[in-house]
Amino acid sequence: MATSRIGLPEPGVNEWASISSEEHMMQTADHAGGKQALQGRSCLSPRQERSAAILSQCEVERRGLEIGPYFRPVTDKSLHDVLYVDCCGEGELQRKFRENPETAGEQLQPIDAVWAPGRPLSDCISHEPFYYAVASRVFEHVPNPLGWLQEIVNVLQPGSMIALVIPDHRRTIDYYRKPTTFSQVMGWSVEKPVRPTPSQVMEFLSESFEDDGTVDFNSGLPPFSELKRHYTDQDALGFAQFVEREKYYLDVHCTVWTPESFVDVFSRVIACGQLECELIGPQEDFPGRAPEEFLVYLRKNKPAESSLPFVSQVQS
């Protein structure tokens, strides 16, 4: 793991189950009537199948955004007209990449625009129409998830899709944490934190454990006190105090989700008129997925549409 400025291991980015490295993505797709018809799927690798499934509801023949592609993008610039955006600049990403043991054999993707914390996304990218956005294993790192989604919605054309791949915390190092609540999401949207808060840092560091790859999430886990941890409670407190004092951006899992909790929280957010989208999904089983992943879509409402609090099923 990377070493932080205060001498302790810094939480890693994209702490997800490794998907084997494959040759160049070969995705064949036709778009018709707002849906994706995928062809040649039997020839796709697991990683390619995963990308094809995630993008299946997106108009990938048009201009799109990928947030946080890091070294495992969903899109492929040789196939898609896509802008790569990250909250980190090239130098910081290079540092994280070099220090991350999961990057062996991988390639860091060059970033087109830096979405600097505290700046509107619209100020960080070109003023042009975008027709979809995708973010894989990014959402849980965002300190103000509703504000983050609102910024993305603001730069998309009406009817555009946001595709989110999110880990189910019940199969991750966040197993013992409680799912993020509606009141937390709404509270952060009022407070507008631009970096993980001391409370978010404290919760992640004090309630997560170290997974050495031998944990069997299917058979149930022992009490939290019996598991090995990356950080002691004193470490967690030290980090929380440090980020508050130094205004330091420490990358942690700010939120935790299950498919059910995401639907519950964001159905209520939409019903309150705080996100002009329709929630579609979730999909808990899609080709090439890691065991802990689920997929959800948010479709930006068209001008004549009101907020839709109900949940639609993913169209096949």
**Mean local confidence (pLDDT), 186-211:** 97
| Separation of CA 74 from chain center | 11
Nearest Cα residue to 206 out of 187, 233, 226: 233
Of 33-42, 45-54, 150-159, 182-191, the one with minimum mean pLDDT is 33-42
Residue 190 identity = V
Based on the number of CB atoms within 10 Å of its own CB, is 214 exposed (0-12), middle (13-18) or buried (19 or more)?
exposed
Residue 128 binned pLDDT confidence (cut-offs 50, 70, 90)? confident
Q: Which neighbouring-strand residues pair with 29?
A: 38
- Spatial neighbors of 106 by CB under 8 A, at least 6 apart, are 21, 71, 72
Instruction: Return the structure tokens found at 59.
Output: 């108009």
Q: Chain-wide mean pLDDT for the chain?
A: 85
The domains found in the chain, sorted by start residue, are: 46-192+253-312 (3.40.50.150), 197-213+221-250 (no CATH)
Based on the number of CB atoms within 10 Å of its own CB, is 282 exposed (0-12), middle (13-18) or buried (19 or more)?
buried
Return d(Cα 133, Cα 161) in angstroms, integer: 6
Q: Which neighbouring-strand residues pair with 167?
A: 293
**Mean local confidence (pLDDT), 150-168:** 97
Tokens 């009406």 sit on residue? 158
Tokens 């966040």 sit on residue? 174
**Mean local confidence (pLDDT), 16-44:** 39
Instruction: Return the structure tokens found at 315.
Output: 């169209």
Residue 311 binned pLDDT confidence (cut-offs 50, 70, 90)? low
Is a pLDDT exceeding 70 seen at residue 310?
Answer: no
Return d(Cα 259, Cα 295) in angstroms, integer: 8
**Mean local confidence (pLDDT), 10-19:** 40
Q: Which neighbouring-strand residues pair with 84?
A: 66
Q: In this structure, are residues 262 and 166 in contact, taking their beta carbons and an 8 Å threshold? A: yes
Per-residue pLDDT, 5 = 36
Q: Are strands 64-67 and 130-136 parallel, antiparallel or unpaired?
A: parallel
Q: Are strands 28-32 and 64-67 parallel, antiparallel or unpaired?
A: unpaired
Per-residue pLDDT, 45 = 86
**Mean local confidence (pLDDT), 26-50:** 55
Please tell me whether the peptide bond between 69 and the residue prior to it is cis, using omega within 30 degrees of 0: no
- Helices then strands, counting H and E runs in the chain, come out as 8, 10
Per-residue pLDDT, 42 = 57
Tokens 């799109």 sit on residue? 64
Q: In this structure, are residues 74 and 66 in contact, taking their beta carbons and an 8 Å threshold? A: yes
Percent of the chain with pLDDT over 70: 83
Q: In this structure, are residues 132 and 161 in contact, taking their beta carbons and an 8 Å threshold? A: yes
Is a pLDDT exceeding 80 seen at residue 15?
Answer: no
Residue 11 binned pLDDT confidence (cut-offs 50, 70, 90)? low
Residue 314 DSSP label: P
CA distances from 25 to 107, 219, 255, 263 (A): 13, 35, 31, 31
Return d(Cα 197, Cα 50) in angstroms, integer: 32
What are all long-range contacts of 123-129, with beta carbons under 8 Å and residues at least 24 apart?
124/85, 125/65, 125/83, 125/85, 125/155, 126/83, 128/63, 129/62, 129/63, 129/157
